[in-house]
Amino acid sequence: MTAPFGRAAVPALAAVSTRSATPDMQRTLEQLVIGAAPGLFVILWASGFIGAKFGLAYAEPLTLLAMRMAALVVLLGIVILVTRPQWPDRIGIRHSILTGLMVHGCYLAGVFVSIENGLSAGLIALVVSLQPVLTSTLANRWLGERVLPRQWLGLALGLVGVYLIVRENIAAGETRPLAWPAAVLALIGITVGTLYQKRFGGGIDMRTGMWLQYAAAGVLFGLGAFVFETRTVQWTPQLLFALFWLVFVLSFGAIWLLYFLIRRSAATRVVSLFYLTPPVTALMAWLFFDERLSPLSLVGMAICAASVFLVNWRPSGAVARGALTWRVRRK
């Protein structure tokens, strides 16, 4: 029987070339890969604005997302045909579909539609940055995860830091009424979907589980495009680049890393990483598009970094216990 791909997704990258290595060498390399996952996730997730910025100029939001999901279903279907992973049972299929409708359907549709309707990237980032606080509140009750006072302080500081980064962009542009409900839909979708995946998606092979998620979201986007949009697409090199970025960098990169981190860490610690995406996005915009970084933005970046440290910091004894739990869980 095929082992769940999610539990070995990142460690497998290290194990491919170390089958003949000693256990200690293999474990060390595996820990290095696992340690790099959060930073890589932040960079990939923050780069999502590139795909949206280029793609929405040539296709309507739901049409663009439907094309993205269709490409993912085909590519991941090929992977499944070659590797033949185990499919989930009927309950697992239902959980995967519901997760896909929330994480991909509600979140992506909300973000793209709000931007299309005039909400600035800075303001949608501020709305979605409420996720760590909302997730921690729900995780405390739904998953039984204890959120320490130090972590609540870190979550509150993160909100302050994000506001300082995006405050200059909040008033820019004319916003249509649909933008605000779409932004709230995005926040609810990514928050509830993350917790749902944490609680019900841990035992499902990520190849088949993600295929079901992408397929469900693709049906939702396709129906929405047929009902609300003209489905006009301008096929340009910029659009193809945007699709490539959205499919491979975001969906095959950032989303898979997010689910891997969810499986091996507390939900509060994982979602606190979202506080780092506005600072990284602002740095990318400054580097590639020469957008101005104000002194307050730099202060906000420092506050965001401090907030993530407060949420994720654990005494050495707790780290050792967490590593032992992770190894036992894998066995």
- Residue 74 predicted with pLDDT over 90: yes
Q: Which residue has the higher pLDDT, 296 or 194?
A: 194
Non-local CB neighbours of 113 within 8 Å, separated by 6+ positions: 61, 62, 178, 179, 182
Q: What is the Cα–Cα distance from 331 to 327, expressed in whole angstroms?
A: 6
Residue 268's nearest CA partner among 234, 326, 308, 316 is 308
The model's pTM: 0.73
Query: Which pLDDT belongs to residue 124?
Result: 72
> For the chain, what is the mean pLDDT?
77
Q: What is the Cα–Cα distance from 217 to 66, expressed in whole angstroms?
A: 8
Query: Which pLDDT belongs to residue 322?
Result: 45
State the DSSP code for 273.
G
Q: Within a 10 A sphere around the Cβ of 113, how many other Cβ atoms?
A: 24
Q: Which amino acid is at 263?
A: R
Position 8 confidence tier, pLDDT thresholds 50, 70, 90: very low
Domain residue ranges of the chain, discontinuous segments joined by +: 43-313
Place of tokens 């791909």: 5
Query: Which pLDDT belongs to residue 194?
Result: 85
- Residue 264 predicted with pLDDT over 60: yes
Q: What is the Cα–Cα distance from 127 to 122, expressed in whole angstroms?
A: 9
Query: Which pLDDT belongs to residue 73?
Result: 97
Position 328 confidence tier, pLDDT thresholds 50, 70, 90: very low
Ranked by mean pLDDT, the top range of 33-37, 236-240, 256-260, 304-308 is: 236-240
Q: Which residue has the higher pLDDT, 307 or 57?
A: 57
Cβ distance 252 to 292 under 8 Å?
no
Query: Which pLDDT belongs to residue 326?
Result: 38
